Structure 1
Amino acid sequence: MSTSQPIFAGHLASPSSMGSYKPDDAIFLLKDLSSLALERGTEDREEAIQSGTHYSEMLPTEYRPSEAYIRLFHESLEATAKRVAEAVASVAEQIVAKRGTAIVLVSLARAGTPIGVLIKRYIKAYFGVDLAHYSISIIRGKGIDENALKYILRTHPQAEIQFIDGWTGKGAIRKVLIQACATFQDKLGMKLNDDLAVLADPGSCSATYGTREDFLIPSACLNATVSGLISRTVLRDDLIGPDDYHGAKYYREWEKDDLSNAYIEAIIPYFDEVKEAARAHANRLLAAEGDPVTWQGEQDIRRIQKDYGIADINLIKPGVGETTRVLLRRVPWKILVNDPNNPNLAPILHLARERGVPVEAYPDLTYSCCGIIKPLAKGESE
């Protein structure tokens, strides 16, 4: 990749020492806002979001899981670690087959970060290349952190970027990434590959994926404590200057509850066992004809929107990962499930019971489940 002068213009800060991952595993290109009180209560934040305040201008109060929920997380991790490992391996194999190893892994903070760590570890183990891995911010309605991209391209001028996330819902972030890369090219004349590699892509939004099944990725069950103790990212004019990276908090006070590295170490031992099957699966996907990106899941969302009379489609969050997020940090109205007996839904059903959220069967979903945020007022939703 050739670089042009604007990449090197202006001052870009060196990465701050953030996050509980080993420095070799992940570098967060984020401005440390740990000293600031940015959290707002769930109801207060929901009202602000739906009244027009952008979700990135404040943080949700981090959910402190009950002991029962933590046990459920460990049970889910034990049950799905091999499956996650196979999805990671399949995605890593596809990345190398498509892009080679002259790449930089760039995960989208924060759900993409543990997946980026796992993909980095797999490629190092089986391709012998220790790729750089950064985690940067992307925000719906505001775009990607261009300063972070400039830093990466300046630091690795001969490498291309491979974007990584955990999963797709209805594809909102995928669309933001496509637009952000186009905008970056318009501004700086540099073309970035907007491929987004994910473990699960039930909505058919990505060309590089481990599975299209909407299965439970255990890192969706928790927030900061499985993502390097990093908050959601923040972008507010009074906090983030023109040369700053997007911001986040580093919850050092949660260190004793941190499972970020334990999560990684629980999955890696399965790599040897799944490697051959994952490589065969990756080869089948690579050989498949036709465009893998069909946005099929959008049709489900439109059906739900019509059936339930929901004005704002952003209040509908499909998939196991997004539904879990609704229960952890939004004000849920109801949860729709394709099959109430699906074992992947155990954490979601547990959270729904804890919060008193009704669960309804809604057959023929592309996704396993769908979370619907309670409509409070007209306005923007996260």
Structure 2
Amino acid sequence: MKGTDLDNIMNKKIAPPVALGSYRPSDVTFLLKDLSDVHLERGTTEREAAIQSGVHYSEMLPVEYQPTAQYIALFHETLQQSAEKVALAVAAVSEMIVAQRGTGGTVLVSLARAGTPIGVLIKRYISARYGVELPHYSISIIRGKGIDENAILYMLQQHGMEAKLQFIDGWTGKGAIRQVLIEACRSIYNKYGIVLSDDLAVLADPGHCSGTFGTREDYLIPSACLNSTVSGLMSRTVLRDDLIGPDEFHGAKFYREWLETDLSNVFIDAITPYYPSVSEEAGAIAAGMLAAPPEITWQGLRDIQKIQEKFGIADINLVKPGVGETTRVLLRRVPWKILVDTMDNPNLRHILLLAEDRGVPVEIFPELTYSCCGIIKPLKGECE
């Protein structure tokens, strides 16, 4: 990189971050503009029609689903049952990150918002296991619009051009965000000469499109059950020219009014006590994966194409595979039907509960790589 290019990057004025979210300030810094006072929510049906008519999903927000008491009880039950399993996946991913990148100069970069609680867990594990407090940020990445470049430049300004950014998300579906990340890293190199790793660390990789993961089993990560109340009370990220200036981060809302029902730290605090007991097994898992790196086949994407053919779905973006994505379909889209591998899959209890609550039909589709798949009701035009 030429000296003038480096100077331009390091001297670019970027609006500094403000305090956001319900996590401890030491857990994460949100590189997001506060849009809490802007009315951005649209009802589910109205939003779906807008998206499928060509309005980009990042220009508005869904109305946050307010779960029933029965659903909240299921969240707590699932969290209790899966906490150790999640802790092992977190630990394995953390061990891989440390082995591949070391702790000096490594910066954890969660993709808001599903990646944020996972990034907090990884930061806590590395702190407990290695005694190192890695910087951890949460930034926006948007399909069709890319990653928040101002957030990338801000982190490099803070930690130097040699900083090793490790991107983090919760899980993979068909791999759309991984593809956006790959393209974003390529774009940043072409624009600034900055080399970033497009490795995406996730807890679960049922889409077979990541090289750093805890498992490829499509199981229920409890943070997928809920929206903002398990993600630091933050909304999805927003990018609109009339709201975000050229020197500002992408935006989001901080739902302070829900502090009394927030479960973000309940989720974290249920998992971290298992770290000491899983670290040895996690180290062995990580060592095995590093010795024989798992193949990235994008198998999940091929399975989705089969579903498209079977059901005559023209737009692949209407098909949302995996437990996490299916949950999102039921919480904030207009579902057409839910496909499951079997009705007695224990990972699907909350899916079946939500489907019953919303009157969405559930069909068995035994050829799935995933535990389940949500299909959005086709209206017209493009979709999220």
Instruction: Identify the TM-score tier after normalising by the shorter chain.
Output: over 0.9
Matches within 5 A, 1:7-156: 7-101=9-103, 102-156=105-159
Q: Does 1:281 align with 2:289?
A: no
Matched with 2:236 is 232
CA distance in 2 between partners of 1:90 and 1:375 (Å): 39
Matched with 1:267 is 271
CA distance in 1 between partners of 2:196 and 2:351 (Å): 36
CA distance in 2 between partners of 1:175 and 1:10 (Å): 28
CA distance in 2 between partners of 1:208 and 1:9 (Å): 33
Deviation, structure 1 residue 15: 1.1
- The residue matched to 2:177 in structure 1 has which SS? helix
Q: Does 1:169 align with 2:173?
A: yes
Unaligned 5+ residue runs, structure 2? none
Deviation, structure 1 residue 6: 2.6
Residue identity (%): 68
Matches within 5 A, 1:271-350: 271-289=275-293, 292-350=295-353
- The residue matched to 1:137 in structure 2 has which SS? strand
CA distance in 2 between partners of 1:187 and 1:143 (Å): 13
Q: Note the alpha carbon deviations across 1:223-244, whole angstroms, 9 max, x for none.
A: 0000000000000010011111
- The residue matched to 1:378 in structure 2 has which SS? coil
Matched with 2:201 is 197
The normalised TM-score by structure 2 is: 0.97
Deviation, structure 1 residue 10: 2.7
Contact 1:6 1:188 in 2 (8 A): no
Contact 1:169 1:202 in 2 (8 A): yes
Contact 1:196 1:207 in 2 (8 A): yes
Contact 1:19 1:229 in 2 (8 A): yes
Matched with 1:378 is 381
Q: Note the alpha carbon deviations across 1:269-308, whole angstroms, 9 max, x for none.
A: 111111111111111111115x621101111100000000
CA distance in 1 between partners of 2:184 and 2:216 (Å): 25
CA distance in 2 between partners of 1:361 and 1:170 (Å): 19
Q: Note the alpha carbon deviations across 1:103-132, whole angstroms, 9 max, x for none.
A: 000000000000000000000111111000
Unaligned 5+ residue runs, structure 1? none
Deviation, structure 1 residue 11: 1.3
- The residue matched to 1:225 in structure 2 has which SS? helix
Contact 1:318 1:367 in 2 (8 A): yes
- The residue matched to 1:198 in structure 2 has which SS? strand
- The residue matched to 2:144 in structure 1 has which SS? coil
Which 10-residue stretch deviates more, 9-18 or 336-345? 9-18
Q: Note the alpha carbon deviations across 1:342-378, whole angstroms, 9 max, x for none.
A: 0000010000000000000000211000000000112
Deviation, structure 1 residue 9: 3.5
Please list every run of at least 4 consecutive aligned residues from structure 1 whose deviation after the TM superposition is greater than 3 angstroms: none
Letter in 2 for 1:245: F
The normalised TM-score by structure 1 is: 0.98
CA distance in 2 between partners of 1:139 and 1:339 (Å): 32
Deviation, structure 1 residue 339: 1.3
Contact 1:32 1:249 in 2 (8 A): yes
Deviation, structure 1 residue 159: 1.9
Contact 1:315 1:372 in 2 (8 A): yes
- The residue matched to 1:269 in structure 2 has which SS? helix
Matched with 1:4 is 6
Letter in 2 for 1:224: S
Q: Note the alpha carbon deviations across 1:173-223, whole angstroms, 9 max, x for none.
A: 000000001000111111001100000000111010000100110000000
How many residues in Structure 1 have an aligned counterpart in Structure 2? 380
Which 10-residue stretch deviates more, 270-279 or 251-260? 270-279
CA distance in 2 between partners of 1:336 and 1:94 (Å): 33
